[in-house]
Amino acid sequence: MADTIPDLNATVRAGTGKGAARSARRNGDVPGIVYGGGADPLPINIDFNKLLTRLRKGRFMSTLFNLKVDGHDDVRVICRGVQRDVVKDLPTHIDLMRLKRTSRVKIFIPVNFLNEETCPGVKKGGVLTVVRNEIELDVLAGDIPDQIEVDLAGAEIGDTISISSVTLPEGATSVISDRDFVIANIQAPRALAADDDDETEEVAADEVPTTDEAEDGGEE
């Protein structure tokens, strides 16, 4: 289970309704609500600047957070909605949903490549080219893995590692299920690739007949 779930700090919002929400915004906060998980809804405020920073990092809607609110137990939440100002496109309200350990969530998990230094293809000069450094999985909230491991122990130059060749954690499935997408590949070094191109050009040039050969070939 992942132990690196990021914290999301909030405070309890005094009062509900438009008046309390406007007051929160004037004080530099974004009002929000936490619901679900078999508990009563909890109105909260989140620091505007900290929230905006996290939003700009991307993947906010698919990131699991550890919500910390003074006077309340920490709880895992996932964002289910961010309302924005229609002109400035800045957050004005946020909806967070509590998750039980048995809840299923879609979340991006980082990919960790094992045995890169001893990989046959890399030792021969090949270059590991990472196409996806994280994969979106459908997984139980109580069984979120720290990472997805991809073993390069037997990978050679020209090999491609796709999702079908990776063993996912038990109970987890890839959100992209309709195609066998590429995670990484071992490419030939540029010098070798350039030499191959040169050889191809030389062969192509040798196959082109000279003027004399063309004329001789035309005589019976």
Residues 11 and 49 in one domain: yes
pLDDT at 90 over 50: yes
Residues sharing a CB contact under 8 Å with residue 194, sequence separation 6 or more, in sequence order: none
Per the model's pLDDT, the better-predicted residue between 53 and 199 turns out to be 53
Strand-strand pairing, 7-12 and 182-187: unpaired
Q: What is the CATH number of the domain that holds 157?
A: 2.170.120.20
Burial 63-87 (b: 16+ CB within 10 A, else e): bbbebebeeeeebbbbbeebeeeee
Per the model's pLDDT, the better-predicted residue between 220 and 45 turns out to be 45
In a domain, 147, yes or no: yes
- Mean per-residue pLDDT, 45-49: 97
Distance, in Å, from the CA atom of 131 to the CA atom of 123, rounded to the nearest integer, reads 20
pTM metric for this prediction: 0.64
The residue among 124, 116, 122, 34 whose CA lies nearest residue 74 is: 34
The DSSP H or E segment spanning 51 is: helix 48-57
Residue ranges making up the domain that contains 161: 106-192
Residues 62 and 122 in one domain: no
In a domain, 19, yes or no: yes
pLDDT at 2 over 50: no
In a domain, 79, yes or no: yes
Per the model's pLDDT, the better-predicted residue between 209 and 154 turns out to be 154
Residues in the chain: 220
Per-residue pLDDT of 171-195, as tens digits, reads 899 999 889 999 999 999 876 555 5
Q: How many domains does the chain have?
A: 2
Question: What is residue 83's predicted lDDT score, i.e. its pLDDT?
Answer: 95
| Residue 153 token pair | 């122990």
pLDDT at 217 over 70: no
pLDDT at 197 over 70: no
Q: Considering 57, 84, 99, which residue would you say is the last residue of a domain?
A: 99
Distance, in Å, from the CA atom of 164 to the CA atom of 129, rounded to the nearest integer, reads 18
Q: Considering 99, 120, 141, which residue would you say is the last residue of a domain?
A: 99
In a domain, 201, yes or no: no
